Amino acid sequence: MDLVTGGAGFIGSHLVDALVEQGKEVRVMDNFSSGREEFLAHHEGSGSVEVYRGDLLDQEAVITAMEGIEAVHHLAANPDIRLGTEVTDTDLRQGTVATYNVLEAMRVSEVGRISFASSSAVYGEAGVMPTPEDYGPVMPISLYGASKLASEALITAWAGTFGAQGYIHRFANIVGPRGTHGVIFDFIHKLKRDPARLEVLGDGNQEKSYMSAHDCVKSMLHVIDLGEEGPVLNNLGTGDTCSVSRIAEIVIEESGLEGVSIDYTGGRRGWAGDVPKTYLDVTKLLGTGFEPTAMSEQAVRDTARVLISEIGL
Ligand code: NAD
């Protein structure tokens, strides 16, 4: 059986779907802080998915959740990068300490495999674009990015010291159905409040890669299935980018609203710690034979369409 921490969340629930599709039995550990029961409701009664409601900061609970587990997919974390500008210990606790608790429970329970949802945020403002996995030194500029880098280091330390097999995935921005945060989600909520005006944080020139949640979880499992030894590090993304101003245009187009004015708050970044441009080099991923089904703009458009129908305008 596989354990998915954060399995009731946006990406986690898509991963649960993909694992079940592979014929796996899955246990989800989630505290439902941002996860939702309805994201897993379609598995109810299937016998394939067990939900364990618990908090990763409770070490005993994490050890209990490890019973009978062969591999862990660790996705639970605070997903809101902006929160670090106001609350300074959230990423430390929900990121770094939570990852420590998972690794320690794995050691105690003799679980040998961990796959981890890291982020392009570890690169900070990288001097090389697109940024390959061996770019360094990596210097995150957000507390979130720092917690991801610390978690990666704990995983390689556990691998080196206790022999665990680690898969570290540095995600681009992930978008898709069940999204509960992020730029597309924010724009739709803003348009719902005021259909005449869309406020965009920053100057709109921020540029990032957007990968669909479907492609994200498929690529995670593809990398794991290659069965490479040693800590395995991969950028997961599409190999192109889309600007925030283009996203604003796409969301407005998909909303069907007419005459919406786009107001930029100005400045290179949306908020302190926002990296204006992230562009992952995915040569390594593509070299393994994985191909994303949607490039950034398409992933953004598909997501805008589905979130508008999920949220309603
Ligand atoms: P999400 O908020 O939907 O998922 C996180 C899940 O973890 C939620 O279900 C939440 O309830 C759960 N959780 C949080 N703290 C917990 C705790 N202490 N104990 C138990 N459960 C807890 O966010 P997501 O976008 O699906 O992100 C999943 C992972 O991918 C996160 O680690 C995130 O940092 C990473 N990631 C996401 C993106 C993105 O664009 N969405 C990009 C890079 C990395």
pLDDT digits (tens, 9 = 90+) for 182-208: 999 999 999 999 999 999 999 999 999
Q: Write out pLDDT tens, residues 121-170.
A: 999 999 999 999 999 999 999 999 999 999 999 999 999 999 999 999 99
Q: For the whole model, what pTM was predicted?
A: 0.97
Say what the pLDDT of residue 272 is.
87
pLDDT at 313: 85
| Separation CA 212–CA 174 (nearest Å) | 6
Residue 224: pLDDT over 90: yes
Q: Is 6 in the pocket of ligand 1 (CB under 6 A)?
A: yes
Atom of ligand 1 nearest to the CA of 11: 26
**In the chain, what are the domains?**
2-174+212-236 (3.40.50.720), 175-208+240-280+291-311 (3.90.25.10)
- Biggest CA–CA distance in the chain, Å, is 60
pLDDT at 80: 87
The pLDDT confidence band at residue 29, using thresholds 50, 70 and 90, is very high
Cβ atoms of 151 and 95 closer than 8 Å: yes
Contact 150, 91 (CB under 8 A): no
Nearest to 49 by CA among 15, 81, 76, 83: 15
pLDDT grade, residue 245 (50/70/90)? very high
User: What value does the mean pLDDT take over residues 15-39?
Assistant: 98
Contact at 8 Å (CB) between 71 and 24? Answer: no
Residues 313 and 188: beta-carbon distance below 8 Å: yes
Residue 309 has pLDDT above 90, yes or no: yes
Ligand 1 mutation target, pool 3, 30, 212, 236, most atoms within 8 A of CB: 30
Q: How confident is the model over 257-272, as a mean pLDDT?
A: 94
